[in-house]
Amino acid sequence: MQLIYEKSVPGRRGVRLPASDVPAAPELPAALRRQEPAPLPEASELDVVRHFTSLSRRNFSVDTNFYPLGSCTMKYNAKALEEAAKLFAPYHPMVPLLPHGASFSQGCLGLAYELGATLAEITGMDEVTTQPMAGAHGEMTGIMLIAAYHEAKGNRKKYVVVPDSSHGTNPASAAMVGYEIITVPTAPYGDMDLDKFREVMTDEVAAVMMTCPNTLGLFNPHIQEICDIAHDHDALMYYDGANLNAILGKVRPGDVGFDVIHVNLHKTFGTPHGGGGPGSGPVGVKKQLVPFLPAPRIVKYDDGCYGVDAPAHGSIGRTSGFFGNFGVMAKAFAYITMLGRDGLIQVSEQAVLNANYVMSRLKDVYDLPYDQTCMHECVFSAARQVKNGVHAIDIAKFLIDKGYHPPTVYFPLIVKEAIMIEPTETESKETLDAFIAVMREAAELAESDPAVFAEFPKTMPVTRLDETKAAREQNVCYFGC
């Protein structure tokens, strides 16, 4: 399909702006004035509509396809959430920061505050900041809070401990805050090796970052013990909330001993993923970390009004321009408001039911390296199919031709040829049965006609793409007219 720049016709116009109602001002000095206008697409409004509508049809999405992308919680995004967020589109974030401005923004400040308070109850933490704009941003914020805590106490800390099954963002976030990383291997039973963990724990460890349930979809039965060991060294426990969808109302990380948590509103709380973002990654903390929370801090006064507090003395400072991805926060608060207590508990129960159902119906045809009751997702290996030359990526491409977005493949890194399936609670048994049938068909085909996989996908606008060429040539910008 042509680029919109290639469809451009010099002189063609799209949307028109209002005519000016003021006199034309003298020109900017020549040294400051743009010499060549930025060459943008020149298209009619209909050209633009056709172009982007055509592009949209070259995508799989939750609304068009089952999308069991493990670790990403691709649940249905209720349409009412979009309507809820639009209600807050016209409000400027500077207004409450102006002197006495908070009284002009009570609706927005109230929403952000009440969302934070609700997330604190859901996760068992004492206070939540909604500033972080994605999960990884929340991780970085959380680790900064931990660094500030240790600095205030005069602790000398150098390391952050992560299990080898962790999301790549965990070590990357800790490294951005200046920590060295210690990686602990996974034991044969599917959780961080407890003996190895004990060995690496010293007083120089600042934090332990855990995903629970972990990226194998397993709930760590030793989690309390891990928290205790960490706390013995005054290391704080960080909870990666990517998998919170499994435990709503069942477990609260704060009750178990975690000190800091981020939640992904775009995963657990039903906001759309936007083709890569925007997300939102609020961070919850226990009391001892509250003084370090980022600015601005939204507060509720005794009279029920909301305000913006001056940052506390120890605050880590500002991590986003204003109040985080407010539009995403509004959607998540709408989701929580609609589902309520029982609805959220049902989310986790049905998510876990769906994942276990898929796992039980596929484990005779795919290797299941950690064969236990899973939580909201399950991780198979294509090792058996690889013997016939069919890899996880080949099965993924077969699924595309069958109309399914593939599961996450090759993650977690500790499972060879990993196929990570997260069905989510919003999929019906019929959808799961159809998906299971296609996965079984893939396994059979891998036995009967493995060579055929190289051709998949055949039904998409493009066949398999040459990623080496892309990396070598680095054409990331169109240089034509």
Partner 1 sequence: MSTASYCPNTPEEVREMLAAMGASSIEDLFRPISPALRARSFDLPEGMSEFEMLHRFEHLAGKNAQHLSHFVGGGYYDHLIPAVVDHLSGRAEFYTAYTPYQPECSQGTLQALFEYQTAICRLTGMEVSNASLYDGGTALAEAAMMALRITGRNRLVIDGAVNPFHREIVRTYLANLDVELVEIGPKLGMEDDLRLRATIDDATAAVLVQNPNFFGSVSDFRRLAADAHAAGALLVVSAYPVALGLVESPGAMGADIVVGDGQSLGNPLSFGGPSFGFIASRKEYIRNLPGRIIGETVDKKGERGFVLTLQAREQHIKRHKATSNICSNQGLCALRGLIFLSSLGTQGFAELARLNYDKAEYAKKVLGAIGGVEVMNGGATFNEFTVCLPKIAEEVVVALLRKGIAAGVPLGLHYPEMERCMVVTVTEKRTREEIDTFARHLEGILCS
Q: Which amino acid is at 38?
A: A
- CB-based contacts of 343, cutoff 8 Å, min separation 6: none
DSSP at 294 = P
CA–CA gap between residue 62 and residue 77 (Å, rounded): 8
Ranges within 363-382 binding partner 1 (CB under 8 A): 372-373
Of 448 and 475, which CB lies nearer to partner 1 in the complex structure?
475
The DSSP result for 407-444, as a single string, is PEES-STTSTTEEEE---TTS-HHHHHHHHHHHHHHHH
Of 116 and 135, which CB lies nearer to partner 1 in the complex structure?
135
Ranges within 192-211 binding partner 1 (CB under 8 A): none
Sign of CA dihedral 297, 120, 256, 350: negative
**Shortest CB 264 distance to partner 1, Å:** 8
Question: Are the CB atoms for 126 and 286 separated by under 8 Å?
Answer: yes
Of 135 and 241, which CB lies nearer to partner 1 in the complex structure?
135
43 makes contact with partner 1 (CB under 8 A): yes
318 makes contact with partner 1 (CB under 8 A): yes
Interface with partner 1: number of residues (CB under 8 A): 205
Stretch that binds partner 1, among 230-238, 378-386, 404-412, 437-445 (CB under 8 A): 404-412
**Shortest CB 387 distance to partner 1, Å:** 24
Question: Are the CB atoms for 195 and 201 separated by under 8 Å?
Answer: no
DSSP at 95 = G
Binding mask 265-304 for partner 1 (x = CB under 8 A): -x---x-xxxxxxxxx-------------xx---------
Question: Are the CB atoms for 196 and 202 separated by under 8 Å?
Answer: no
* Best CA proximity match to 343, nearest among 282, 351, 431: 351
* Measured CA angle at 427 (ends 421, 432), to 5 deg: 60
**Shortest CB 285 distance to partner 1, Å:** 16
**Shortest CB 134 distance to partner 1, Å:** 4
Of 313 and 469, which CB lies nearer to partner 1 in the complex structure?
469
**Shortest CB 432 distance to partner 1, Å:** 8
The DSSP result for 270-287, as a single string, is ----TTT------EEE-G
Q: Check whether the bond before 26 is cis (ω within 30° of 0).
A: no
85 makes contact with partner 1 (CB under 8 A): yes
38 makes contact with partner 1 (CB under 8 A): yes
Ranges within 437-456 binding partner 1 (CB under 8 A): none
Cβ count near 80 (within 10 Å):
13
User: In degrees rounded to 5, what are phi and psi of residue 236?
Assistant: -95, 150
**Shortest CB 63 distance to partner 1, Å:** 4
Given 68, 70, 135, 282, the residue binding partner 1 (CB under 8 A): 135
Stretch that binds partner 1, among 97-105, 229-237, 284-292, 437-445 (CB under 8 A): 97-105
127 makes contact with partner 1 (CB under 8 A): no
Sign of CA dihedral 65, 68, 69, 75: positive
Of 100 and 448, which CB lies nearer to partner 1 in the complex structure?
100
Question: Are the CB atoms for 260 and 285 separated by under 8 Å?
Answer: yes
* Best CA proximity match to 217, nearest among 409, 374, 419, 382: 374
DSSP at 293 = P
Sign of CA dihedral 88, 91, 94, 99: negative
Ranges within 248-267 binding partner 1 (CB under 8 A): 248-252, 255-256, 266
**Shortest CB 188 distance to partner 1, Å:** 16
Given 105, 129, 165, 215, the residue binding partner 1 (CB under 8 A): 105
Q: Could you tell me which residues are beta bridge partners of residue 222?
A: none
Binding mask 325-354 for partner 1 (x = CB under 8 A): xxxx-x---x-xxxxxxxxxxxx-xx-xxx
Of 10 and 448, which CB lies nearer to partner 1 in the complex structure?
10
* Best CA proximity match to 293, nearest among 151, 97, 149: 149
Ranges within 383-402 binding partner 1 (CB under 8 A): 396-397, 400
Stretch that binds partner 1, among 100-108, 233-241, 382-390, 439-447 (CB under 8 A): 100-108
Ranges within 137-156 binding partner 1 (CB under 8 A): 137, 139-140, 144, 147
Burial of residue 349 (CB within 10 Å: 0-12, 13-18, 19+) is middle
Which tokens hold the place of 217?
């979809």
406 makes contact with partner 1 (CB under 8 A): yes
**Shortest CB 113 distance to partner 1, Å:** 11
CA–CA gap between residue 161 and residue 209 (Å, rounded): 6
Ranges within 45-74 binding partner 1 (CB under 8 A): 45, 48-49, 51-53, 55-65, 67, 69, 72, 74
| Pairing of the two strands 408-409 and 418-421 | antiparallel
Of 178 and 387, which CB lies nearer to partner 1 in the complex structure?
178
Question: Are the CB atoms for 145 and 297 separated by under 8 Å?
Answer: no
Of 118 and 388, which CB lies nearer to partner 1 in the complex structure?
118
CA–CA gap between residue 453 and residue 280 (Å, rounded): 38
Of 195 and 430, which CB lies nearer to partner 1 in the complex structure?
430
Of 317 and 447, which CB lies nearer to partner 1 in the complex structure?
317
